[in-house]
Structure 1
Amino acid sequence: MVDVGQFLGLRAAKRAHRSTQAATQAGILADSRTIPQDAVRFSGRQIAILFITLAAIASVPILLYPWPPLSDYINHLARMHVIATVGSDRDLALFYQVQWQVIPNLMMDLIVPILQRVMNVYLAGQVYTIMSFVLILSGTLALNRQLYRHWSVLPLIAFPLLYNNVFLVGTMNYLFGIGLALWALASWVALRERALVLRLAVSTLFVLALFFCHLFAVGVYGLGLLAFELHRLLALRQREPLPLDRPMQRRVPAWADFVASGLPFLPVIPLLLMSPTWTLRWDFTWEFNGKLKGLLFVIEVYSHSATFFLAAIVAIGALFAVRYRALRFHPFGWMLLAVGTATYLALPRVLFDTYMADQRLPIALAFMIIACAHLDLRDEFVRRGFATVLVLLLAVRAFEVQGVWRDLSRGTASFRDSVRQIERGSKVLVAYADPDNGDNARDLWLTHAACLAIIERSALVTTAFTVLGKQVMHVRRDYRDRVDTEDGTPPSVRQLLSHTEPTDWDDDPPYWSHWTSDYDYLYILFTDRDYANPDPTRLTPVFAGYRFVLYQINGTQLAGMSKTSD
């Protein structure tokens, strides 16, 4: 039977000593000394109130902007809408179909359409995002509690990291998986000295759930578990053998117990083999360039100045905490840093045809590492210093995100107005005015903005995520050759209009090769303020907004006139 009370930290004081002693003998705690209760200074109830308050503050930007300016977010949200409504929307059913498969990228697909039964898709997306935030921070708190055997206020310092560059990309399933991986690791630590069967069973359930969150989330949990088990194995080897008459004696060799920790991951192999994702296994690329940038993704969002300021605050606060001997770091954290660094350097940039495979890892490690820290709050100066640092970090990050999102909301509102000009059930092509644009964090929202037409106008949009093996939403056969099914870059305007470039279309023409007759509208993204119509004969301007222009394509009518004249 699982000791839920111990896991939640609600056991009576008379059981706390016994739990701490058992954990110490197993080499789980940082040392053999129990941390005095007055070193915590915050009760579980106070920490819960702080958590709720800070979670509410962190959720403000999400609640204020139903369409947050994230890169892939609106594309994912459009897929959620199709899953929820394709059975009742004839226009969507004409273009799209949903084929449920074993794919390690389904958590949002499973949750948001269910929420959409009782709310609109935008609110459902907001609820899912806030759920991810709460899951990540509560998982950080839970892991810290299991490592130090009491609730601590220190993990709350991770709240500003919820807004990071990986989040700006809109990797929604992976972010949910980070939170679940933190809870999985906390559960493993809590059950580490319990019955082997119970521990492996709970871990297996977490692995299965993580698989359907995101394949990389399984890796995050596996990395954390490996680091913890290596730390534990090293701690056991450094201790003297336990006498045979002690109740805590090991019934299996340490190495066998270590190997058994990997058994819950075995179901991933058959699941992956039966998944269409396995067909993407050869799509990988390793790059050293960008490794440093991936580390900056943890704290960088929009402003380099804000990033520097946040890093400076944390560094100064840590130095003062070390000086006052108030900061402790669990030995598991050092092992996690070692294993995480090696893994990060070895990971490719593209894995299973998914970009940023390596650059997603540091943010997950950051939450785990924060969970490994403990702050002694007995000193009044330390308490005030911690409160000051926490407020400053939240204020800087909230001001940065809120300020930028307020400015970008003008663009998203303008784009929403343009979508209203599209006829329902239309076919929409997306192209770039400048193929080198889209890398700036402030422009990320525009990359997949055209997918809003799927939600609002039941349209076929060429940039919707419909890759076999990565999504359950696919384009029907009659229209499949008109969309991007490989997550590629949209064509440039020059490519659309030029017939002189050395492109061999005889065997495998691009999906947009017959754009004048296959589509009804053209979105040109990343335009300048005075962008001129590139082809007045075939394009009629419909709406010009910030960094984009919507055109109606006249190619079909012109083709008909040409045939009549012949």
Structure 2
Amino acid sequence: MGLSIVPLLYPSIPPLVDLPGHMGRYQVQLMGDASPSLSAFYSFDWQLIGNLGVDLLVELLAPVFGLELAVKLIVIAIPALTVIGMIWIAREVHGRVPPTVLFALPLAYGHPFHFGFVNFALSMALALNAFALWLRLARLGRFRLRAVLFLPLSMLLWVTHTYGWGTLGVMAFSAEVVRIHDSGRAWHRSLVSAGIQCLALAPPVLLMALWRGGQHVGGQTGDWFNWDAKALWIEMTLRDRWRWFDVATLGAMLLVVGAALFSRRLGFSRNLAASALVLLAVFLLLPRVVFGSAYADMRLTPFMIAVALVAIRPGTVASRRFLGAVAVAGLSFFVVRTAATTTSLALASDRYDRALVALDHVPRGARLVTFVGHGCGLPWFSARTEHLGGMAIVRREAFSNDQWAMAGAQLLGVRDIGAPGFDRDPSELVTARDCEGEQWHTIDQALTRFPRAAFDYVWLIGPPHIRPEWVRGLLLIWTNGRDRLYRAGHSLPVQDQRL
């Protein structure tokens, strides 16, 4: 577990793509009416939704540690809890921790985590631990106690993020069916009995109906059975910085699963194998977008592979020497992957630090529009700066145009500042050319069309090539050679309105 937190020790702000944007929302929720500027820019209304895990923890920890440190501590806890959950599940199912589990541990830093889906990642970490507890109580025959405990636990998990609750339900039901069948019951009776046992996980269904009913209509659900995208999500399971390395390490994990399928020295736990297969089926059936939230199917890939790896156990003919070699290989694999993740996050953190110097030149309460250079589609390497503008909310109580605003999915709303099309996500993303199927501005469109009277400053983070005429009337006040900060011409004395 200790090794799993190493990659996050150095960065002052965990460099996860969406996290700075979330931190901006946390600042709004913490300050409320205490900040006149943030109150003028944003609204914030607490509601019971299935996406509040880190938001609620911030309420508890930020008054003690400050927002930035509180977020760092919470994010550090996520991979640690994920690793604990994997190890605990293995111990409950196998009676000990087989060495093959070591190959699963790097999946705590899977693609969804690097993307900054922190409420989701926290809920999945908790779901793994809850599943381990579910298995333990079944092993001990404490079914009544399990039902009592999981009534509130299922509610808590749903509030953290709906996805974690749903995943726990899928894993618990599939494992329960196999357990009951192995006790001597027919499959059809096992299905019914498992359903009855899992009623303890059902109360959030009412919360879901209340959340998605009435005024909380939510976004659209669509893009079903996009097989090209699903193949890409599997390839990107460990997407971080170096494509060849990320794909090679994923390949090593899949080879271990393949070895367990065909080698007599390795095998599978029946109930965990069933859970892995059901998770695979869910992945194949899920659309890409659910209630307006993108990458719904992508989020599952690290966990279905992790469950498959955790399901592996030594076969009856496995020698101690063989298991020792597997342990050495697994530990080496975990250490190498962790070292690469540590290096990658350190480089990304340094990139953050260089760009954030710009905020030293932005006054409190300023109206800031940020444009971040981005490639078409989903490039493998990301500088993770897409939502760095959110730190202007955190450190300067300024306006940032990177916030998500979706009824029923977000507690934050963006007030009208006279900048339609440039006041919320994804207006912060700019490209060198038009990208098919995307809503992003090109850099020339962004700089020539944004309403200059609505903003005081323009922050360009790793932008594509800029022509001088696109920034005419803006005053360059800071640059690090890669990023630029301009003051809008309308706020300058006439004689200072220049390039």
Distance 1:270 1:317 in 2: 41
Residue 487 of structure 2 corresponds to residue 552 of structure 1: yes
Query: What is the CA RMSD across the aligned residues, in angstroms?
Result: 3.3
Partner of 1:72: 18
With over 3 angstroms needed to count, the CA separation of the structure-2 counterparts of 1:285 and 1:239, relative to structure 1, is closer
1:248-263 to structure 2, matched below 5 A, reads 254-263=190-199
Q: Secondary structure at the match of 1:118?
A: helix
- Residue 494 of structure 1, aligned match among 424, 444, 451: 444
With over 3 angstroms needed to count, the CA separation of the structure-2 counterparts of 1:478 and 1:261, relative to structure 1, is farther
Give the drift of 1:476.
4.3
Partner of 1:219: 166
Distance 2:62 2:388 in 1: 20
Distance 1:516 1:320 in 2: 61
Give the TM-score normalised by the residue count of structure 2: 0.85
Greater CA drift, 474-483 or 125-134: 474-483
Distance 1:425 1:113 in 2: 23
The CA deviation string for residues 339-387 of structure 1, in whole angstroms up to 9 with x for no partner, is 2222111100000100100011121222322332224798442343133
Distance 2:192 2:367 in 1: 59
Partner of 1:23: none
With over 3 angstroms needed to count, the CA separation of the structure-2 counterparts of 1:516 and 1:296, relative to structure 1, is same
Partner of 1:370: 309
Give the drift of 1:477.
5.8
Residue 34 of structure 2 corresponds to residue 96 of structure 1: no
1:115-126 to structure 2, matched below 5 A, reads 115-126=61-72
Q: Secondary structure at the match of 1:535?
A: helix
Give the TM-score normalised by the residue count of structure 1: 0.76
Residue 392 of structure 2 corresponds to residue 392 of structure 1: no
Distance 1:166 1:115 in 2: 24
Contact 1:425–1:457 (CA under 8 A) maintained in structure 2: yes
- Amino acid corresponding to residue 411 of structure 1 in structure 2: R
Distance 2:4 2:191 in 1: 43
Distance 1:347 1:544 in 2: 44
Partner of 1:503: none
Give the drift of 1:140.
1.3
- Amino acid corresponding to residue 75 of structure 1 in structure 2: G
Distance 1:210 1:122 in 2: 24
**Pair member with larger Rg:** 1
| Count, aligned residues | 481
Q: Which runs of 5+ in 2 are unaligned?
A: 428-438
With over 3 angstroms needed to count, the CA separation of the structure-2 counterparts of 1:421 and 1:552, relative to structure 1, is same
Partner of 1:345: 284
The CA deviation string for residues 3-56 of structure 1, in whole angstroms up to 9 with x for no partner, is xxxxxxxxxxxxxxxxxxxxxxxxxxxxxxxxxxxxxxxxxxxxxxxxxxxx33
Give the drift of 1:133.
1.3
Give the drift of 1:322.
8.2
- Amino acid corresponding to residue 282 of structure 1 in structure 2: Q
Q: Secondary structure at the match of 2:365?
A: coil
Residue 197 of structure 2 corresponds to residue 269 of structure 1: no
With over 3 angstroms needed to count, the CA separation of the structure-2 counterparts of 1:257 and 1:119, relative to structure 1, is same
Greater CA drift, 144-153 or 201-210: 144-153
With over 3 angstroms needed to count, the CA separation of the structure-2 counterparts of 1:547 and 1:264, relative to structure 1, is farther
Distance 1:482 1:423 in 2: 24
Contact 1:291–1:345 (CA under 8 A) maintained in structure 2: yes
1:27-426 to structure 2, matched below 5 A, reads 55-152=1-98, 154-192=100-138, 194=141, 196-236=143-183, 254-275=190-211, 278-280=216-218, 282-286=220-224, 287-311=226-250, 313-314=252-253, 325-375=264-314, 379-426=319-366
Q: Secondary structure at the match of 2:104?
A: helix
Identity within the alignment, %: 20
Distance 1:232 1:115 in 2: 40
Q: Secondary structure at the match of 2:138?
A: coil
Give the drift of 1:519.
0.8
Give the drift of 1:403.
2.9
With over 3 angstroms needed to count, the CA separation of the structure-2 counterparts of 1:95 and 1:437, relative to structure 1, is same
Q: Secondary structure at the match of 2:92?
A: helix
Give the drift of 1:62.
0.7
Q: Which runs of 5+ in 1 are unaligned?
A: 1-54, 241-251, 500-511
With over 3 angstroms needed to count, the CA separation of the structure-2 counterparts of 1:534 and 1:192, relative to structure 1, is farther
Give the drift of 1:543.
2.5
Distance 2:328 2:355 in 1: 40
Contact 2:236–2:247 (CA under 8 A) maintained in structure 1: no
Greater CA drift, 462-471 or 473-482: 473-482
Distance 1:256 1:402 in 2: 47
With over 3 angstroms needed to count, the CA separation of the structure-2 counterparts of 1:452 and 1:498, relative to structure 1, is closer
Give the drift of 1:311.
4.2
Contact 1:432–1:490 (CA under 8 A) maintained in structure 2: no
Q: Secondary structure at the match of 2:385?
A: helix
